[in-house]
Amino acid sequence: MSWPRRLSSATASLTAVVSVACCAVTAAAPDVSAGLVFALVSAVFAGAFATGLGLFVSRRRPANLVGFLLTFIGLVPPVQTLLDSYAEVSLSRPLPGAEAVHQLAAGLWTLWYVPVLLLMLFFPGGRLPPGRFPRLVLYGVLTVTPAFILLAALDPTAYDPPFEEFGHPLPTLPTPVVWLLVLPLLVLFMALLIASALVMRHRYRTGGPVERAQLKWFALGALALPGTLLLCWVNYLLLGELTALIWVGLAALAIGVPSLTALAILRHDLYDVDRTTSAIVTWGLLSAGLLAVYSAVSFTGGLALGRGHAVVSAGVTALVAIVLVPAKNRLRRSVDRRFYPVRERALAAVAALEREVHAGRARPEQLEEVLRDALCQPGLRVGFLLPGGTTFNDMSGSPVAQGLEVRLAGRPIGILDGPCPREVADASALLVETVRLRLELRQALGETEASRGRLLRTGYRERRRLERDLHDGAQSRLVSLGMALRLAQRHLDDGSVDVDQLLDQAVAELGTAVAELRELAHGLRPSSLDDGLGPALESLTLRAPVRLDWRLEGHVLADDVATTAYYVASEAVTNAVKHANATSIGVVVGTGGDGTLHVSVEDDGRGGADLQRGSGLAGLKDRVAALGGVLHITSGPGQGTTVRAVLPCAS
């Protein structure tokens, strides 16, 4: 086990011991106040949360010191709460050394900030940057903090209620001397905070893309340090008592910093850090503005109105909040230009492309290229959902499996496969819709051209077949019949020809020719359709070698519509039996409320039917399209096949 991981484990164990001691001390109080219970629960939770994250980071990055520093953050809340509760419990039940503990704990509040300062120096690699300056900052943090804690313990000033009766059992120094030494330390502490931020800034400028993204996430959490200091000072200067402002700051230190630090170390690419930074800075500025208004009104109201100024301060602050609502979007745009330039650049690029398209100087198909350049994402792909389709495909027809959906009027029309802000996707909706419709038109024209070619080839092929069948069958028989009749005519007077036999042969040949012509006609149109679509489907059921259930709903159909519907059912049933090994087939034909006829054929076969590979299905699609209808096929592997045709009809 590496030494950083050993430190993490040892700190976690110490945190557990201190948390148990906190519970024991609190339980020893004869009358536990609600504030003490709240402080205990908050400290134990914050300590366990930060410690758990620290152990997890140490396990994933055992050689990195960041995990240990996170467990250090988790140790501070229980330690602070243990010392405070020990002194508070001693007010009602004397505990040994309570006054000495209270005196030593006077300056321990600085421990809340030390782990964050150290993280600013060691994050993200767990090592100090090269150079003398980072080492001096580290030595300053490790020296100034204990010096301040020691001097705070030597202050002889009387304690605030309820500890005003507590004395100072440990040695003290005169108050002027203490303040003469403490004030420079406070100034130096702030200087160390600024110096640590400069170390982070240098690391950011010299680091790679991954390290920069990690530092951005951590910087969001590290903002809690100066923010908490500011809240504490505002609280003590204006309110003079413990309020929710301090708890908000401490919660940000104990929970926000470990969360964002662990996220930065382990999953820095999970979310868009620039977008998050922009939102936090925007709301932070608004909150700071409202806090400044409240503070100013509280101060001036306290001077003018005395103790009853709180309601006036809250009212004025609420009024300012209402006034600031319209300015929020303008403020966010200003912040975005500084902290979220990718979003602003992409929005501007999309707007510029729209203007160029409207002016006829660009094509909407350039959207993918424009987004790649604006977002600095060379692998970004734009997928389009064609009407009637279920999958997204790019310009080349390749599937785009996942990404950020582009919606128009609440329905998905495209997808962006790559890091992209939601606002950019929304701004691209009109361009995506334009490209989608152009692709649909291009596909429809291509399918029409291909269908026209197939119909032309099919017509030529059927014409040759009919010519061959007529020539070899009925035509030859009729020619032979004509020659026989001519022969009978010539020899009718001399009696050399048996006229009765010749006429019998002629009638037989004529019957055979009629039968062959009827068979040819049946090949063009089933004879069962003479009685309607229902009897034709019934005859199809009788010929099917598997179970076939059919249902016909609607009125009398036009002949061409009924013929096309029959061929849809016949071809789908034939394919199900021949290729899909189906055991059950259902055929439903019914009229819709929009003047259309719906033909649906479902089977339980193996599926996998494809319009592009089956000539029968392609011919069927052409037949349906020739009538102005649409053919859809759903055929997942192992899920059976569903053939649906929508035909216009006048029924």
* DSSP run (H or E) holding 190: helix 175-206
Say how far apart CA 78 and CA 624 lie, in whole Å: 77
Residue 454 pLDDT grade (very low, low, confident, very high; cuts 50, 70, 90):
low
Give the sheet arrangement for strand 404-408, strand by strand: 381-384, 411-417, 404-408
Q: Please report, for residues 15, 98, 540, 573, 602, the alpha-carbon distance to residue 583 in angstroms, rounded to integers and kept in the order given.
A: 68, 87, 15, 11, 11
pLDDT at 10 over 90: yes
Neighbours of 377 (CB within 10 A): 17
CA atoms within 13 A on the CB side of 484: 19
Backbone angles phi, psi at 644, to 5 degrees: -125, 130
The model's confidence at residue 651, banded by pLDDT at 50, 70 and 90, is very low
CB 141 within 8 A of CB 112: no
pLDDT value for 458: 66
Is the backbone peptide bond immediately before 124 cis, with ω within 30 degrees of 0?
Answer: yes
Nearest to 533 by CA among 593, 602, 619, 599: 599
| pLDDT above 70 (res 74) | yes
Q: What is the mean pLDDT of residues 5-19?
A: 92
Pick the residue with more confidence: 204 or 471? 204
Residue 139 CA to its chain's centroid (Å): 45
Q: Report which of residues 454 and 138 the model is more confident about.
A: 138
**Which tops the pLDDT comparison, 531 or 268?**
531
As a dihedral over the C-alpha atoms of residue 113, residue 119, residue 122, residue 123, rounded to 10 degrees, the angle is: -160
Q: What is the pLDDT of residue 306?
A: 45
Residue 252 has pLDDT above 90, yes or no: no
Question: Looking at the predicted structure, is the pLDDT value of residue 18 above 60?
Answer: yes
Q: Is the pLDDT of residue 520 over 80?
A: no
> CA-to-CA distance for 127 and 42, rounded, in angstroms?
32
pLDDT digits (tens, 9 = 90+) for 138-174: 999 999 999 999 998 998 888 877 787 888 888 888 9
Cβ within 8 Å of residue 214, ≥6 positions away:
123, 124, 264, 265, 268
Q: Which of 279-288, 319-328, 560-569 has the lowest mean pLDDT?
A: 319-328
- Rounded Cα distance between 291 and 249, Å, is 14
- Which amino acid is residue 209, in one-letter code? P
Residue 241 has pLDDT above 90, yes or no: no
pLDDT (0 to 100) of residue 503:
75
Q: What is the mean pLDDT of residues 3-17?
A: 92
Give the Cα separation of 77 and 87 in Å (integer).
Answer: 16
Question: What is the pLDDT confidence band of residue 137, given thresholds at 50, 70 and 90?
Answer: very high
- Round to whole Å and give the CA distance between 206 and 223: 21
Calpha distance 326→574 (Å, rounded): 67
Check: pTM over 0.85? Answer yes or no: no
Percent of the chain with pLDDT over 90: 13
Q: What 8-state DSSP symbol labels residue 393? A: B
Confidence at 206, pLDDT banded by 50, 70, 90? confident
> What SS3 state is found at 102?
helix
Alpha-carbon span 640 to 633, nearest angstrom:
11
- Both tokens assigned to 50: 């930060």
CA dist 651 and 648 (Å) reads 9
Asked if residue 276 has pLDDT above 90, the reply is no
Give bridge partners of residue 630 from the DSSP assignment: 646
**What pLDDT score does 141 carry?**
92
Q: Which of 366-370, 407-411, 440-444 has the lowest mean pLDDT?
A: 440-444
Which pLDDT score, from 0 to 100, does residue 79 have? 92
Which tokens is 146 given?
Answer: 């204990």
Instruction: Provide the 8-state DSSP code for 399.
Output: B
Round the average pLDDT of the chain to a whole number and report it.
79
Give dist(CA 437, CA 429) in Å, integer. Answer: 12
User: Residue 92: which residues within 8 A CB-CB, separation 6 or more?
Assistant: 29, 30, 31
**Percentage of the chain surpassing pLDDT 70?**
75
Which of 30-34, 458-462, 517-521, 597-601 has the largest mean confidence? 597-601
Residue in 542, 591, 597, 541 with CA at minimum distance from that of residue 565: 597
Separation between Cα atoms, residue 635 and residue 259, nearest integer Å: 47
> Whose CA is closest to 117, among 96, 95, 134?
134
Q: How does residue 305 score in pLDDT terms, banded at 50, 70 and 90?
A: very low
Does 370 score more than 50 pLDDT?
Answer: yes
Which amino acid is present at 639?
A: Q
The whole-number average pLDDT for the span 416-425 is: 82
* pLDDT in the model for residue 9: 93
157: Cβ–Cβ under 8 A, 6 or more apart, which residues? 175
Please classify residue 599 by burial: count the beta carbons closer than 10 Å to its beta carbon, then call 0-12 exposed, 13-18 middle and 19+ buried: buried
178-185: long-range contacts at Cβ-Cβ below 8 A with a sequence spacing of 24 or more?
Answer: 178/151, 178/152, 178/154, 181/151, 182/148, 182/151, 182/152, 182/155, 185/144, 185/147, 185/148, 185/151
